[in-house]
Structure 1
Amino acid sequence: MTIWKRKLGLFVGLLSALVIFVPSITTFAKWQVLPGHRVQVISLIGTTKGASNLSIVGSGSASRTVIIVGGDTGVKKSQIHSIATLIKSVSSHILERSLGKLPTNQTEIFLYSQQSGYAGAVKKAFPSKEVSTVVRQTGGFTLGSKVYVPLYKYHDSAFLANTLTHELTHATLNEIGVGSKLPTWMNEGLAWYNGTAAEMTVDKRTALQMTRQLDTQLQQAQKLGELQSIHRDGGNVLEKNPPYNIEFQDYLGVKYLINTYGEDKVTRLLSVLKRDSFSKSFKSVFPISATQFTTSFTGTGRPS
């Protein structure tokens, strides 16, 4: 889930737009318009040898299809085309590098130009008492292989790239079969890690500005004695309301693991996790237990 809200006078999370500007990227998506105001991405570029052009259309490759759907009549075809380009040029490379996978089942992305349309999608997925909060405080959510994005909240392509890649990370983890086995901090941390990488690709200055602001909040929370470790026992993150962004803290946890032990270790963890518990999988890959890590890592230093 992509969360955005004001904290200490700063925007926390992802609120952005539709003008696609991707520096140093010259490969664009191919797409076709389908009935019902839909665009089907025809290919995703893979980075592995022998897979530079992964066709995801046709009888032998239907499982590699990403479909982008206008959830209401206000979504323009040009917007759908731009998003298809962004997914092809940015998201697919990041997903394959960090997860070792591209979406392998039919993934659908629903876009909404108005709050009423997004609210309708939220009502079908969340308890009635949470609907207004989710509509107000989220910039997108994923349910299985379906991604829902309130396009009307976005006015900058960097943040949009972040959200699309973030939510596609959740969808891919679900398709791999490990989404439900990952603890919240790892699931959201991976999504944030990939989303931030996408934002860096599109607009590095904006991405760095966002992470600096979020890091400042963590430092302030630490000074006030309100900073907790990334360990938490589930619950609704929207109701916790700490003076900093919890999911950014999750991102820092995943970033620490990758910077310290290598991105390939995370890919290895996801592979082992298919057949074992998270705690056992984590311990077999990293030289520290998951409990040790989560109870001591706060985002402002090394885990003890």
Structure 2
Amino acid sequence: MGGLLAASVMALGVIGQAWDDSHGALGAHRQAASVSNRGKQEKASLASMSSQAEGIHFSLPFFFGPQVKIEAFGSGVPSSEITHVQNLLNRVNSIQRIREFLGVRMNHTATIVLVKNAADYQTELRQLGVSAGDASSLSEDSNGFTLGSTVVIPLFQNPTDVDLANVLTHELTHVDINQHIANIPSWMNEGMAVYMGMNGQKAIENPVDFASDEKQDAEDILQVVQSNQLVPLTGSEAAILSGQETYDYELQDWLAVCYLIEHYGKSSIQTLVRHLESENPNQAFYDTYGETVSAFNAQFTKALKQSASVSSGGAQLEISISPSYRGEIVVQPANQAVGRAFKAEPGTHHLTVTASGQVQADLPPDGTRKSAIPATPGTMYVSLLPQRFGTVAGQRLLDAQMEIQIQNGLYTFENAWEELENNPMYNPSSVPDVLGVAITAIHDEAPDDPILTMLNAENA
């Protein structure tokens, strides 16, 4: 989630893909400084590849049908970290999710190598055959690397379980694809991997936070469409390999896969994979979907352009109020300095904000309140004004805020915090729950927006 208060949840920047007969695909994924600033324009070139990595490794093998082996390279990775990653894979059920999505299972061992710092990450990449220059660049900001059936995960770039759930599922999707398909375009390969990474992330993340991450990623591509910089899917691979990418193509690839699932069903991906195992990509796509990639790309691009031109239709917020909270809930729409107040009542309630900034709720109205927060374009605030001021961390609690961003007609939760007498931004959180009041769903009121139906593919 963007802004100063929230850490990056995931990283989806492409840096390249290469093939050789014995190792399959090379995939490395950049981690951006924040979700609102993703996508690094770099190319990873492939030197002579060696599957024998030198150095000291220790491992704890475990099984999900096929064998998945977790190793630690270098210093600073305790055995407890290996166990934690093992448990997380079990919790997310990554291998089974990937198998059910692709329709094929890994037929030999996948190796996950964990590294704790940039120096060890760089060393491990070089021992896998990556050039010194590319290894140095990757060690600075990539959050995952796959070569054939080997995955390298820099733990320092994936500080939370949400990060790890995404990158592990993403990279293991590449492994499964590598073991079954010898020739796959970058947009299909990355689109499937990003889709599954998001699927793994969704398994453990707060639903509102996850939906906001999705919409923020989609907004990145809609901004590219608005700036007339979108490139065809058919050209993505060449652009990536030549180092000429101008934005995060993986997000476009992900939306393309979402578009396919939306129109043809999730099972169509399994059909496509079966054809890709024995046919060239263009023929496989045609045999699966009955149209050429170029024709599909034209339809997909048209849908993105339509979505980029859709105005906000407002949104409905589902809010859960705990009996412990007594006070008011004030909704301050974008571009307004005055908020509409409602008396809090325990239970699940709904707040509706129209495109014109009108606010309605199934709570008792309590007039208007002038906000201390100035009118802000593209930002809506839900403020909590407690009936009685309590004390938090030895300071008087004044109120609490939840910030919702509005961009390209999409409403996304940004962050929440409490305001104390001497600390205006205490306990910032990326979870939409503060003082016993939680936003449990945000529904965009834009039924004709194609991007929303694409994002629904993650629920398929």
The residue that corresponds to 1:130 in the other structure is 134
Higher fraction of strand: 2
| Conservation of the 8 A alpha-carbon contact between 1:230 and 1:297 | no
State the shift of 1:295 in Å. Answer: 5.2
| Conservation of the 8 A alpha-carbon contact between 2:75 and 2:120 | no
The residue that corresponds to 2:189 in the other structure is 187
The residue that corresponds to 1:10 in the other structure is 36
The residue that corresponds to 1:175 in the other structure is 179
SS in 2 for 1:125: coil
SS in 2 for 1:96: helix
SS in 2 for 1:186: helix
The residue that corresponds to 1:87 in the other structure is 89
Tell me, yes or no, if structure 1 residue 37 matches structure 2 residue 58: yes
Q: In 1, distance between residues paired with 2:278 and 2:233? A: 25
Tell me, yes or no, if structure 1 residue 199 matches structure 2 residue 225: no
The residue that corresponds to 1:97 in the other structure is 100
State the shift of 1:118 in Å. Answer: 0.6
Q: Whose relative contact order is higher, 1 or 2, with alpha carbons under 8 Å and at least 6 apart?
A: 1
Question: Matches of residues 219-298 of structure 1 in structure 2 within 5 Å?
Answer: 219-232=222-235, 233-236=237-240, 239-242=243-246, 244-294=247-297, 297-298=300-301
State the shift of 1:139 in Å. Answer: 0.7
| Conservation of the 8 A alpha-carbon contact between 1:164 and 1:195 | yes
CA separation of 1:132 and 1:73: change in aligned 2, threshold 3 A: closer
SS in 2 for 1:5: coil
Aligned-residue sequence identity (percent) comes to: 25
After TM superposition, the structure 1 stretch with the greater mean CA deviation from structure 2, 207-216 or 292-301, is 292-301
| Conservation of the 8 A alpha-carbon contact between 1:103 and 1:175 | yes
- Segments of 5+ residues of structure 1 without an aligned counterpart are 14-34, 45-53, 55-63
Tell me, yes or no, if structure 1 residue 115 matches structure 2 residue 118: yes
Q: In 2, distance between residues paired with 1:126 and 1:200? A: 32
| Conservation of the 8 A alpha-carbon contact between 2:119 and 2:139 | no
For the aligned residues, what is the CA RMSD? 2.4
User: TM-score scaled by structure 1?
Assistant: 0.78
SS in 1 for 2:234: coil
> CA offsets, 1:2-39, max 9 Å, x none?
222248x82437xxxxxxxxxxxxxxxxxxxxx95211
The residue that corresponds to 2:216 in the other structure is 213
Q: In 1, distance between residues paired with 2:268 and 2:152? A: 30
State the shift of 1:292 in Å. Answer: 2.0
Paired positions, count: 259
| Conservation of the 8 A alpha-carbon contact between 1:74 and 1:113 | yes
Question: Residue type matched to 1:81 in 2?
Answer: T
The residue that corresponds to 1:49 in the other structure is none
Q: In 1, distance between residues paired with 2:261 and 2:61? A: 33
State the shift of 1:184 in Å. Answer: 0.1
SS in 1 for 2:232: coil
Q: In 1, distance between residues paired with 2:234 and 2:299? A: 8
User: TM-score scaled by structure 2?
Assistant: 0.53
Q: In 2, distance between residues paired with 1:226 and 1:239? A: 16
Greater Cα radius of gyration, structure 1 or 2: 2
Q: In 2, distance between residues paired with 1:222 and 1:143? A: 32
Tell me, yes or no, if structure 1 residue 159 matches structure 2 residue 182: no
State the shift of 1:220 in Å. Answer: 1.9
- Segments of 5+ residues of structure 2 without an aligned counterpart are 1-27, 40-55, 307-449, 451-460
> CA offsets, 1:160-218, max 9 Å, x none?
10000000000011112x1x411000000000000000001110333322222222222
Question: Residue type matched to 2:105 in 1?
Answer: L
State the shift of 1:245 in Å. Answer: 2.0
